[in-house]
């Protein structure tokens, strides 16, 4: 199933047809629900109805106010902020929604260079480069870094943008068991001895790719061990911090700060602006040489329109709040709140008898439903009780590991979390999703 997950093995068409067309068609109301508000702690979900057993869904103009447990708005910046929003509006007036040009042409504004300097300083690398989209950052940077004659070793749970970047690179791609440093080491040792297929020549380059927080599990990477192995075998390490940058670590600097890894030991640090910073776009932070090389070698830098200036301004302002450079301590408060809320929510869910994935301090957690057939009932019933949750199944997870994925935000109040827990617990009983004995009530 790991292989299905990564999409490296050819997928049987009948199997694919059964899972994607037949089942998902019947439960299509559970995905892509239109929203009519910002992705805040509460959202307006557009009501839809079907009079032909979900074959066609019609939108209404009615909306329902729901507690939002599904957005990646970890620090709560996405729904407007007293420091960010006025500056974003000003940038929209001074610049425009778009630059109408690629970075290499006329698409570099003063804001873009300011953001790149700020990101480099924030993550602790000498330089950084930004892109209009996080997905494109991975899928276009990986092929610019490793090509034919190279070896990419990828964690089996890595995101689809990494999988596609690795496939497009022309390098040999191998997958190691999720978060297993020992399997990684074994694979590296064997492949270094074997060399390139056919010729046995030494690999031109070896790059190991991992994530900071795995988005379907809420689990942290075993980064210290993986970094030590990469150093030992002289492999480059590429770290995707989409879900961890801004959200974890004492000052929000991500998993290196949280797990005590020196950023100098991570060759390529990738991240997105779509989660903690409430904007859009992605970045790569690395040595001056690598970043300079990428400015000329990466097609997304040369041929894709640069980040929208207001989106750039949003990230600059959000990072300044996180760093306390807005003159307040709101950033530190947000970080403390998301940590506390995430740990509270996870431990309360476990107490009621759910199997919950995810490490302490991670804002992402998954409630295991296992059986795909439980997903629609879980999702619909939560929504009926005004709680919006994201459900995830094959091909984003292995077939028998369907789940509801919860993302906590610093904008959730304790009352919001209590309400969410009550509804999820009731719905869990209804669909038979609690696999463990509940913790007895304290007398
Ligand atoms: N990397 C990871 C680990 C992700 O989870 C995602 C999307 N959630 C991306 C990259 C792509 O980022 P974006 O959505 O900002 O394009």
Domain ranges of the chain: 2-78+332-369+381-431, 80-323
Residue nearest to atom 11 of ligand 1 (CA): 135
Helix 414-431 and helix 330-351, axial crossing angle in degrees, nearest 10? 30
Report pLDDT for 309: 98
What separation in Å is there between the alpha carbon of 377 and the centre of ligand 1? 27
Partners of 211 in beta bridges: 240
Interface predicted TM-score (ipTM) of this complex, two decimals: 0.99
Contact 94, 84 (CB under 8 A): no
CB-based contacts of 412, cutoff 8 Å, min separation 6? 41, 341, 420
Q: How far apart are CA 317 and CA 273, in angstroms?
A: 12
SS (H, E, C) 43-76: EEEEEEECCCCCCCCEEEEEEEEEEECCCCCCCC
CATH code of domain 80-323 = 3.40.640.10
What separation in Å is there between the alpha carbon of 272 and the centre of ligand 1? 7
Q: Which residues of the chain have pLDDT under 70?
A: 1-23, 441-443
Which of 39, 135, 164, 311 should be mutated for ligand 1, with most atoms under 8 A from CB?
Answer: 135
CA angle 308, 34, 15 (to 5 degrees): 100
The whole-angstrom distance between residue 237's C-alpha and the CA centroid of its chain comes to 18
> Token pair of 327, please?
């003159």
Q: What is the pTM of this model?
A: 0.93
What separation in Å is there between the alpha carbon of 277 and the centre of ligand 1? 13
Query: Which residues in 27-167 belong to E strands, given as ranges?
Result: 42-49, 58-68, 127-131, 151-155
> Token pair of 83, please?
């420091």
Index of the ligand 1 atom closest to the CA of residue 281: 15
Which of 133, 134, 254, 300 should be mutated for ligand 1, with most atoms under 8 A from CB?
Answer: 134
> Which of 219, 222, 152 has its CA nearest to residue 187?
152
Is residue 56 left, alpha or beta, with left meaning phi > 0 and alpha meaning psi from -120 to 50? beta
Q: How far apart are CA 33 and CA 228, in angstroms?
A: 43
Between strands 387-388 and 402-407, the pairing is unpaired
Helix then strand then coil, in percent of the chain rounded to 5, is: 40, 20, 40
Index of the ligand 1 atom closest to the CA of residue 274: 15
Which of 242, 300, 392 should be mutated for ligand 1, with most atoms under 8 A from CB?
Answer: 242
Give per-residue burial for 142-171: e unless 16+ CB within 10 Å, then b: bbbbbeeebbbbbbbbbbebbbbbbbebeb
Q: What is the pLDDT of residues 213-229, one digit of tens each?
A: 999 999 999 999 999 99
Residue nearest to atom 1 of ligand 1 (CA): 242
Index of the ligand 1 atom closest to the CA of residue 275: 15
What separation in Å is there between the alpha carbon of 273 and the centre of ligand 1? 9
- φ, ψ for residue 35, nearest 5 deg: -115, 145
Q: How far apart are CA 145 and CA 279, in angstroms?
A: 26
Report pLDDT for 367: 97
Q: What is the DSSP string of 320-361?
A: HHHHTTTSSSHHHHHHHHHHHHHHHHHHHHHHTT--EE--TT
- Protein residues with CB under 6 Å of any ligand 1 atom: 133-135, 138, 159, 161, 211, 215, 240, 242-243, 272, 274, 282
Say which DSSP state 305 is in: B
Q: How many CB atoms lie within 10 A of CB 97?
A: 10
> Which of 247, 311, 320 has its CA nearest to residue 279?
311
What separation in Å is there between the alpha carbon of 211 and the centre of ligand 1? 10
Q: How far apart are CA 82 and CA 77, in angstroms?
A: 9
Report pLDDT for 394: 82
What separation in Å is there between the alpha carbon of 135 and the centre of ligand 1? 5
Report pLDDT for 14: 60
What separation in Å is there between the alpha carbon of 429 and the centre of ligand 1? 32
Residue nearest to atom 13 of ligand 1 (CA): 134
What separation in Å is there between the alpha carbon of 46 and the centre of ligand 1? 25
Class of domain 2-78+332-369+381-431: alpha beta
What separation in Å is there between the alpha carbon of 323 and the centre of ligand 1? 23
Report pLDDT for 441: 65
> Token pair of 242, please?
């989409």
**Average pLDDT, whole number, for the chain?**
93
Report pLDDT for 89: 98
Report pLDDT for 245: 98
User: Which H helix or E strand runs over 7?
Assistant: none
Residue nearest to atom 15 of ligand 1 (CA): 134
């Amino acid at each position: 199933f790991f292989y299905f997950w990564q999409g490296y093995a050819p997928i049987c068409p009948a199997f694919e047809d059964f899972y994607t067309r037949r089942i998902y068609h019947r439960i299509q109301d559970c995905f892509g629900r239109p929203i009519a508000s910002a992705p805040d702690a509460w959202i307006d979900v557009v009501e839809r109805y079907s009079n032909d057993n979900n074959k066609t869904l019609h939108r209404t103009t009615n909306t329902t106010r729901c507690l939002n447990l599904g957005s990646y708005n970890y620090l709560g910046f996405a729904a407007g902020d007293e420091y960010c929003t006025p500056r974003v509006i000003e940038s929209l007036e001074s610049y425009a929604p778009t630059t109408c040009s690629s970075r290499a042409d006329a698409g570099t504004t003063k804001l873009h260079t300011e953001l790149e300097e700020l990101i480099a300083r924030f993550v602790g690398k000498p330089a950084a480069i930004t892109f209009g989209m996080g997905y494109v950052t991975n899928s276009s940077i990986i092929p610019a870094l490793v090509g034919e004659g190279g070896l990419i070793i990828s964690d089996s749970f890595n995101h689809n943008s990494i999988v596609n970047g690795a496939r497009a690179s022309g390098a040999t791609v191998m997958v190691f068991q999720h978060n297993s440093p020992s399997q990684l080491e074994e694979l590296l040792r064997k492949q270094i001895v074997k060399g390139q297929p056919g010729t046995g020549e030494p690999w031109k380059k070896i790059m190991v790719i991992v994530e900071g927080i795995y988005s379907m599990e809420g689990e942290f990477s075993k980064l210290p061990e993986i970094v030590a192995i990469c150093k030992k075998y002289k492999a480059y390490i590429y770290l995707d911090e989409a879900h961890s940058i801004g959200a974890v670590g004492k000052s929000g600097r991500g998993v290196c700060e949280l797990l005590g890894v020196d950023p100098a030991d991570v060759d390529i640090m990738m991240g997105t602006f779509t989660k903690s910073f409430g904007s859009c776009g992605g970045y790569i932070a690395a040595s001056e040489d690598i970043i300079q090389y990428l400015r000329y070698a990466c097609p997304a830098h040369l041929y894709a329109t640069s980040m929208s200036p207001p989106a750039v301004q949003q990230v600059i302002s959000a990072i300044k709040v996180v760093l306390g450079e807005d003159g307040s301590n709101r950033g530190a408060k947000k970080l403390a709140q998301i940590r506390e809320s995430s740990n509270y929510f996870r431990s309360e869910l476990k107490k009621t008898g759910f199997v919950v994935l995810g490490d302490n301090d991670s804002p992402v957690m998954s409630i295991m439903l296992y059986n795909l057939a439980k997903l629609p009932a879980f999702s619909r019933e939560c929504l009926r009780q005004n709680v919006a949750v994201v459900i995830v199944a094959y091909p984003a997870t292995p077939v028998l590991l369907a789940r509801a994925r919860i993302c906590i935000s610093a904008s959730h109040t304790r009352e919001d979390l209590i309400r969410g827990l009550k509804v999820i617990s009731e719905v869990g009983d209804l669909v038979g999703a609690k696999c463990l004995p509940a913790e007895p009530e304290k007398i």
